[in-house]
Structure 1
């Protein structure tokens, strides 16, 4: 099988395994390396995914991959959560994380910009509305069709009485 066929076969298996548990397959990476393939699954569920959940997905995926054998060489399987700064891939993701801080980049300029960081306000008619908290003016309106990358930003609450910042953010 070619690279794309291998990825498609693994994605079908991963979709079956995660959907059967009520989990979401956030992303899948299959990379050929000198000593075989590296297969990475990023899995989540409503309320957050735990280590036991990830282990059970890993065990079932490994068993099925060994039987169905879509990879023509040895492979390393990694199953993890998408992280606190998880990617936003589709309209459902943007709606799910309304109120959260996000960083968005577009394929081409929208309203004269290609990069924004702000709070997800709404998603209406295929447009993400982003409150640019530290900038004066109307929220940014970014069509989903023009979004190249979207990702949640990690926020840490401000310690009371320690500075004037309303929160801390890690850019990664």
Structure 2
């Protein structure tokens, strides 16, 4: 198969999810122990409920059975991305400006690979974070191509 499972599933899931007025956040295809899991994360402005997950799961299951793009047996799991939603697309980062985020990088920047701070700005080249170290605030710029993963951070006050 020339395309990755996640790419094929994204193409199949996108129209179903949009038809239901929802947003496709991410698709994961992972092996845990001896089992494979196909996870589809959906969201919308007001959050996701069980009925919406069930509707997507049912429709996506039908198409996956019909097209049969996955060789292995797998478990399909459709859910909300939760409070620590991943930031993958440009739109995700733009919506997160002003919010607390966690970013991991492929290589160290100023001797660190993990950052938590307020997302100040985003462009296709770089993100700017405001870090709080004890009582001091510090700005850091991270090139987007060095970002391994990014997600919203849950903060407790």
TM-score when scaled to structure 1? 0.76
Unaligned runs of 5+ in 2: none
- What is the aligned partner in structure 1 of residue 95 from structure 2? 96
Partner of residue 147, structure 1? 147
Q: How has the CA–CA distance of structure 1 residues 115 and 55 changed in structure 2, closer, same or farther, with 3 Å as cutoff?
A: same
Alignment root-mean-square deviation, CA: 2.6
Which residues of 2 match residues 55-134 of structure 1 at below 5 A? Answer: 55-72=54-71, 74-124=73-123, 126-134=125-133
Q: CA deviation digits over 1:122-156, x for unaligned, max 9?
A: 22463211111335254111121111111211123
Deviations 1:53-74 (A, max 9, x none): 1111111111212222223454
Cα 1:52–1:116, aligned 2, differ >3 Å: closer, same or farther? same
Alpha-carbon distance, 1:98 to partner: 1.7
Q: Distance in 1 between matches of 2:124 and 2:33?
A: 46
Q: Work out which structure has the larger RCO, using CA pairs closer than 8 Å and 6 or more positions apart in sequence.
A: 2
What pairs with 1:18-37 in structure 2 (closer than 5 Å)? 18-31=17-30, 37=36
Taking the aligned partners of 2:71 and 2:29, their CA distance within structure 1 comes to 12
Distance in 2 (CA, whole Å) between partners of 1:34 and 1:154 is: 28
Q: What is the distance in 2 between the residues matched to 1:85 and 1:41? A: 15
Give the superposition deviation at 1:101: 1.1
SS of 2:11's equivalent in the other structure is helix
Please report how far the alpha carbon of residue 19 of structure 1 lies from its aligned counterpart in structure 2 after TM superposition.
2.5
1:80 deviates by: 0.6
> CA 1:35/1:126 → structure 2, altered by over 3 Å: closer, same or farther?
closer
Equivalent pairs counted in the alignment come to 156
